[in-house]
Chain A
Amino acid sequence: MGNTASLVKNIVTQKKYKEKYHWTDYFSYFYLFLGVFLMFGPIIWLGLSSVKTLAGIQEYPPTILPLSQIQVEVDGYEKPLSLYNVTLEDGSTTELAEIKRVGITSKMVDPKDTEQTYKIPIDKREKIREFSVQWDNYLDPLRKYNFLLYFKNSIFVTVIATIITLIINSMAAYALSIYEFRGKNIALVFVIGTLLIPLTIILVPVFYVIANFGMINSLWGVILPGAATPTGVFLLRQYMLTLPRELIEAARMDHASEWAIYWRIVLPLSIPAIAVLAIFSIMWRWNDFLWPLIVLSKSEVYTLQIALNAFHGELTSQWNYVLAMTMVTLLPIALIFTYLQKFITTGIASTGMK
């Protein structure tokens, strides 16, 4: 027995047999499991809550799983009634449906014998539950509240903005890495300098520029201001600097145009860096909030994030819809993360930016 225990201990901490356990080893595992609970718990709770019925969501204390109370149709009553397991005064139990609750007693009826009504104290009864998944929470907002449109808007912004970002940033990075030209250092300082000016301190004037272009309440007004990113230029340039110059020289010998060198040689070789920037850009654009909130005030042009915020403000009691749509908003990013995690973390580690 002792042997197995020490074997398990060994496997868990990957220690050599003789080594002693330090308190930090125990603490580490405790911390890690607490971390998993804290980081994933909220997401799982969101997922479970998002498939509950409205009644299940408003219940307090809440049930962990989506267990909803069984509702029955009873003759003579318009609405379906909730079913309870009731302990009667003589000690027997039976299933009754609630008509009305009055203080701490409840007026109940037997679904099989609708003539007979009972007055039952509420602590003598228990809800009868069943496991039920309410997919309508997902479908209703898509049907009734235009969420499909917001989803499309978000995809449009994300895709177009990412394409523009990739093209213009890679062009600038190409110029700044392959060529020697007068003003190169000024251009570099200029690019890095823009890193120091976040959007939060120029909200009003960028709004002014967008207004002059007539792009308020247009998705282009969301796309354009962030299209040129210093992070992107910097990341791509660092990568392009490592490319062998001989390839470019050889292509020039063969009379390739500079544009052809850019897209036929440099771009394909830079795909790893471009992939990192593409993932970043998709993340930035999909999650973008403050700027769209300022530019978009008509609901036809809302992106998913803005719609979710507005929807939550309007329907504070409809948490079932809000939670389901939160899930929808979160899902694409979760999928990207699952598949491309390594790209993202190396990207952040190598640039120190996100």
Chain B
Amino acid sequence: MSNIRINIKNFFIRVFNIPFAFLMHAIDIIMWPIQKIIGVRNMPYIFLLPNLIFFGLFVIVPLGVNVAFSVTGGDELLFADREFSGAKHYNYLFDCENYLNANSCTEDFFWRGVHNTIFFVIFQVGLMIFFSLLTAVILNKKIIGRGFFRSVFFFPVLLSPVVVGLIWQWILLKNGILNAFIEANGGDKFSFLTDPGWAMTSSIFVSIWAHMGFYTLIVLAGLQAIPPNLYEAAEMDGTSRERTFFRITLPLLMPNLLVVFILASIKGVQTFDEIYVLTGGGPGTSTSLIVQYIFTTGFASSGSVQNFGLAAAASMVLGIVLLLLTLIQLYLSRSRENKHQEI
């Protein structure tokens, strides 16, 4: 490993050094007089500036603009052509007789997305915690080829959502290899992607397949932080493995599992790309999630009317959900830190 590191270092240095040094000298010609004028103490502002400009332009300003979009109507992008419409979009989104029944809502597509997302997140996150815990515990054991197995489980994390979607679509097609395998063993073909119930199941499975490695890594880091002398003591006392797991491993791992829970929920609520490529949100609207609603309404509406205002209003709703999740995360990590300090 250290060999590779040195090689990469040399590679970076050799390839980038000449143009890099040239560029840096050039910038220094501008920076030096600036430093002379404003003084060393004010230089950090100059260093921060480019990053903050980017954050401002593409995060902070958009936050305000989003609100402005959500309260103006029309299908134009520029504000000069948009008229104020107040809470119209929000009323439209929330116009429902019964929130549990998407058909009773004016914007049923949005509420189907909400229901699908809730269903998707509950199962995806639950199964994700279970499988990443199981995988991490097994990968933490003394087994042959541990490094190999670890990279195997991690590998799909790096694949792009399009690649993940296409690979699994290819496998789950009606005439795909999975159905061929099932038929060869005497079963009947399944419509993995064209039956509403199965399409959701497949989506949840594919999403877990693609992201499990990431969460496994977090749990694994937690497992490795558990002091080994606890296990030695348990072994001395002749504690059974099951008891060791439930009385030592699991309680000490709780903070990491909480992180997994929150991170997976935050990401899960925003799921879009893999499912979009895998099922296209179909059949019908059975796998279309909230972000797909925003995308379709704002940018890819079939009626060619791009309803930016409605999309922005839906984004605000999603943003509030994410904010709540983040606050829970902050609260939990804070109470965790306090506990650490007490110890």
Contact = CB atoms under 8 A, between A and B. Distances in A.
A42 interface: yes
Nearest to A41: B171
Contacts of B180: 60-62
A132 interface: no
Contacts of A299: none
Interface in A1-19: 11-14
A67 interface: no
Contact of B31 (A184, A187, A202, A259): A259
Interface stretch (A72-80, A82-90, A169-177): A169-177
Given A197-B59, A289-B162, A29 B143 contact: yes
Interface in B187-224: 209, 214, 217-218, 220-221
B272 A171 contact: no
Interface residues of A, number: 104
B168 A287 contact: no
Interface stretch (A110-118, A122-130, A140-148, A222-230): A222-230
Interface stretch (B63-71, B104-112, B122-130): B63-71
Nearest to A15: B142
Interface string B24-41: 100110011001000011
Interface residues of B, number: 102
B41 to A, nearest CB: 7
21 contacts: A35-B153, A39-B155, A39-B209, A45-B167, A175-B44, A194-B60, A197-B319, A201-B316, A202-B62, A203-B294, A203-B299, A204-B65, A204-B298, A206-B58, A228-B54, A228-B58, A262-B47, A289-B162, A289-B277, A308-B162, A352-B259
Interface of B: 1, 4-5, 8-9, 12-13, 24, 27-28, 31-32, 35, 40-45, 47-48, 50-52, 54-55, 57-66, 68-69, 77-78, 134-135, 138, 141-144, 149-163, 166-168, 170-171, 175-177, 180, 183-184, 209, 214, 217-218, 220-221, 241, 259, 263, 266, 270, 272-273, 277, 291, 294-295, 298-299, 308, 311-312, 315-316, 318-319, 322-323, 326
Interface of A: 11-14, 22, 24-25, 28-29, 31-32, 35-36, 38-40, 42-43, 45-46, 49, 58, 60-62, 167-169, 171-172, 174-176, 178-179, 181, 184, 187, 190-191, 194, 196-198, 200-209, 211, 224-228, 233, 252, 257-260, 262-263, 268, 271-272, 275, 283, 286-290, 293-294, 305, 308-309, 312, 319, 322-323, 326, 329-330, 333-334, 336-337, 339-342, 344-345, 348-349, 352, 354
